[in-house]
């Protein structure tokens, strides 16, 4: 699924212009869903935490019993080669991905060492700073490790996210605030979540039901360096109804302010603005 019209694809050692075909009908990934990916960003020549995203796609592959075949260093080099085909000030979504090709005798278990790999670069602008989300509840929840590969950024997890989003949009909201199986807030359907109350910053404690994101960790580190401790703890819907500010954290937009949760309204407050400012200051300093 193409998001934009300007795409470059790395496949079998070559960069291709456009949305190149990379999988076959009988590949394990297309047949049985053994696919993983990660998402990074290039913005104004900056590629914040690119190495961390490349490292995570290799860990995700291992979690799905797919053999990762490209080192982090090589992956980073390939990405920078591919970015040379875009304008220097372009905002580009970076997706390295793996999929299993063959299975063992039973077909279900991926065969080690036989792996597909590609990188997709798409020019996708960052959302405007004041583009705020609205959240509602959903009857769907995050799965647990015993039933799903929640320790990977795996394609097979996203149909669950899609039905969360579809339900939210049918109710007139842009996203859903999602719980784990115990009813504690975990994240949204597309990103990690933070809330601010009385000047304190809170975020759900990672409990194995959702990926504790790379951008999430960067925000926590930046806030700590700014003298603000983030409390990772168990949070409820009621906690979010009592919040002063709420913002989402994810690779696509880095910081997305939330202006409403089921009738509770928030301003785009000073902490949300400061988190965004610190992120891009850090990205420029780490160049």
Domain ranges of the chain: 7-123, 133-285
Q: In Å, how far are 29, 200, 268 from 61, measured between CA atoms?
A: 12, 36, 37
Question: Which pLDDT value is given to residue 44?
Answer: 93
**CATH classification number, 7-123, choose in 3.40.50.720, 3.10.20.30, 3.40.47.10, 3.30.470.10:** 3.30.470.10
Q: Which pLDDT value is given to residue 9?
A: 98
- What is the pLDDT confidence band of residue 43, given thresholds at 50, 70 and 90? very high
Helix (H, G, I), strand (E, B) or coil at 62: helix
Whole-model pTM above 0.85? yes
Q: Which pLDDT score, from 0 to 100, does residue 170 have?
A: 98
DSSP label at residue 178: E
pLDDT digit string, tens, across residues 181-223: 999 999 999 999 999 999 999 999 999 999 999 999 999 999 9
- What is the pLDDT, as a whole number, of residue 129? 87
Whether the pLDDT of residue 1 is over 70: the answer is no
Fold topology of 133-285: D-amino Acid Aminotransferase; Chain A, domain 2 (3.20.10)
pLDDT at 5: 83
Read off the pLDDT of residues 61-111 as tens digits, 9 standing for 90 and up: 999 999 999 999 999 999 999 999 999 999 999 999 999 999 997 889 999
For 200, left (φ over 0), alpha (ψ -120 to 50), or beta?
Answer: beta
Residue 40 has pLDDT above 70, yes or no: yes
Average the pLDDT over 127-137 and give the result. 94
Decide if pLDDT at 4 tops 80: no
Please state, in angstroms and rounded to a whole number, the distance separating the CA atoms of residues 285 and 161: 34
The residue-averaged pLDDT of 119-131 equals 94
What mean pLDDT is predicted for residues 165-174?
Answer: 98
d(CA 240, CA 265): 10
Q: What 8-state DSSP symbol labels residue 259?
A: E
């Amino acid at each position: 699924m193409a998001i934009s019209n300007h795409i470059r694809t790395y496949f079998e050692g070559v960069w291709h212009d456009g949305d190149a075909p990379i999988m076959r009908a009988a590949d394990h990934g297309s047949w049985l869903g053994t696919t993983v990916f990660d998402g990074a960003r290039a913005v104004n020549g900056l590629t914040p935490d690119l190495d961390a995203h490349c490292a995570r796609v290799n860990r995700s592959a291992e979690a799905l019993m797919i053999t990762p075949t490209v080192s982090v260093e090589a992956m980073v080099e390939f990405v920078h080669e591919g970015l040379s085909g875009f304008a220097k000030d372009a905002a580009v979504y970076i997706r390295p991905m793996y999929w299993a090709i063959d299975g063992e005798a039973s077909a279900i278990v991926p065969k080690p060492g036989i792996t597909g790999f590609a990188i997709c670069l798409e020019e996708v602008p960052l959302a405007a700073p004041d583009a705020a989300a609205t959240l509602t509840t959903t009857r769907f929840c995050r799965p647990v490790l015993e039933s799903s590969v929640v320790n990977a950024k795996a394609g097979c997890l996203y149909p669950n996210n899609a039905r969360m989003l579809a339900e939210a949009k049918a109710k007139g909201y842009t996203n859903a605030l999602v719980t784990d199986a115990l009813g504690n807030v975990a994240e949204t359907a597309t990103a990690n979540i933070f809330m601010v109350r009385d000047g304190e910053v809170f975020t759900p404690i990672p409990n194995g039901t959702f990926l504790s994101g790379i951008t999430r960790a960067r925000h926590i580190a930046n806030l700590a360096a700014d003298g603000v401790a983030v409390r990772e703890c168990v949070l409820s819907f009621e906690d979010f109804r009592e919040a002063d500010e709420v913002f989402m954290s994810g690779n696509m937009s880095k910081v997305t302010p939330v202006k409403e949760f089921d009738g509770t309204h928030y301003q785009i407050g000073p902490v949300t603005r400061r988190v965004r400012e610190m992120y891009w200051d850090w990205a420029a300093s780490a160049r």
